[in-house]
């Protein structure tokens, strides 16, 4: 671990916190490159890379052609040459042209070479809904990548996590899909800009993939991540007014998933509701529900319930409030769990 100066706390939006984390990683290691469509002078669609090209130059912040497969394929070659590329996919729905490169090359090269080749590639993806976007701009494809062995899948829900987790992801020897909840980009939170960042594998694995209890409770557990954290906390506030104590866990990592943290919570509360914007059908919550049902069979007072997107294509923006987990849908699930 590199020594760090005293931390300076400040309030930043999530987008600016990730920007600061990228800047810190690039300052620490000149092998870190940023590449993607419009990441240079424009600073990306959501301005997450704003100012980086002016500071680090066109050789390290590279505007690429419009071709996701080529962008990720180039990142694979750069990793083989000893670099640590950070790829930006403009929108979640644009990642699918690169799916083959990610799942058949990026995810498998380390295993295929028995660990002799490492793939320290980060793929940043704005994901999720609640921005009123057009088709292909509001997907939640995390389950497709979490199902593929060899890729870490993580997502920050706060500015502080955005700052620290992007640096941990870049330090990882393995490829990381870094999912950024676009609806939370401009929500501010406290960030310690100069906090120490672990760069050894053991600390990275322990910290990057550890879930966090963001609100303690005694009656029911809500496990969620990314864009689901805010609405789950709102549901816990409303439930508290009705006399129910809801514990909220931010998973932070989808693959690997900190099931132990959820199991410990369910042993305290006896109930679990899983919330995510991805479809519940074969979604990340299905894996968590199965694992908790197996490990907490005698502790559960009610079936594990899931609240998420439906098994349909993502709807037009006028209907997304019906499709996505809402405060009412989460509270209904909490009430059903408590009534069981």
Owner of token pair 């132990």: 260
Q: Round to the nearest angstrom and report the end-to-end CA distance of the chain.
A: 49
φ, ψ of residue 297 to 5 degrees: the values are -55, -45
Both tokens assigned to 269:
């509360």
Nearest 5°: CA angle at 152, between 170 and 273?
125
**C-alpha span between 194 and 3 (Å, rounded):** 10
Nearest 5°: CA angle at 45, between 8 and 151?
75
Please give the full DSSP string across 6-18, using - where no structure is assigned. PP-EEEEEHHHHH
Beta bridge partners of residue 178, listed in sequence order: 124, 154
Residue 319 DSSP class = G
Which candidate, 258, 217, 209, places its Cα nearest to that of 237?
217
Which candidate, 146, 166, 138, places its Cα nearest to that of 283?
146
**C-alpha span between 101 and 82 (Å, rounded):** 18
Cβ 123 vs Cβ 102: under 8 Å:
yes
Q: Which of 130, 137, 209, 276 is catalytic?
A: 137
Which secondary structure element, helix H or strand E, spans residue 56, and what is its range?
A: helix 52-56
Whether 136 sits among the annotated catalytic residues: the reply is: no
Catalytic residues: 137
């Amino acid at each position: 671990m590199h020594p760090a100066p005293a931390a300076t706390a400040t309030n930043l939006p999530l987008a600016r916190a990730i920007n600061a984390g990228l800047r810190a990683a690039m300052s620490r290691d000149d092998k870190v490159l940023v590449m993607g469509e419009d990441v240079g002078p424009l600073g990306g669609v959501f301005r997450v890379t704003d100012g980086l090209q002016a500071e680090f130059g066109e050789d390290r912040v590279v505007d690429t052609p419009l071709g996701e497969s080529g962008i990720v394929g180039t990142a694979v070659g750069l990793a083989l040459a000893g670099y640590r590329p950070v790829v930006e996919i403009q929108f979640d729905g644009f990642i699918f042209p690169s799916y083959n490169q990610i799942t058949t090359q990026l995810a498998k090269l380390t295993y295929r070479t028995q660990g002799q080749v490492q793939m320290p590639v980060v793929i940043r993806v704005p994901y999720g809904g609640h921005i009123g976007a057009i088709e292909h701009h509001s997907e939640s494809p995390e389950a497709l990548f979490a199902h593929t062995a060899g890729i870490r899948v993580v997502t920050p829900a706060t500015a502080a996590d955005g700052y620290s987790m992007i640096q941990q992801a870049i330090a990882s020897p393995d490829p990381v899909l870094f999912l950024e909840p676009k609806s939370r980009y401009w929500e501010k939170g406290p960030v310690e800009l100069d906090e120490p960042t672990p760069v050894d594998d053991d600390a990275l694995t322990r910290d990057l993939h550890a879930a966090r209890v963001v609100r303690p409770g005694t009656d029911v557990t809500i496990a969620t991540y990314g864009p689901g954290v805010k609405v789950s906390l709102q549901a816990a506030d409303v439930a508290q007014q009705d006399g129910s104590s809801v514990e909220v866990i931010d998973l932070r990592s989808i693959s690997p998933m900190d099931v132990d943290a959820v199991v410990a919570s369910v042993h305290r509360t006896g109930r679990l509701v899983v919330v995510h914007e991805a479809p519940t059908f074969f979604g990340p919550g299905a894996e968590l529900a199965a694992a908790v049902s197996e490990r907490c069979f005698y502790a559960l007072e009610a079936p594990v319930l899931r609240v998420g997107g439906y098994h349909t294509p993502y709807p037009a923006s006028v209907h997304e409030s019906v499709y996505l987990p809402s405060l009412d849908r989460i509270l209904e699930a909490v009430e059903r769990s408590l009534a069981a």
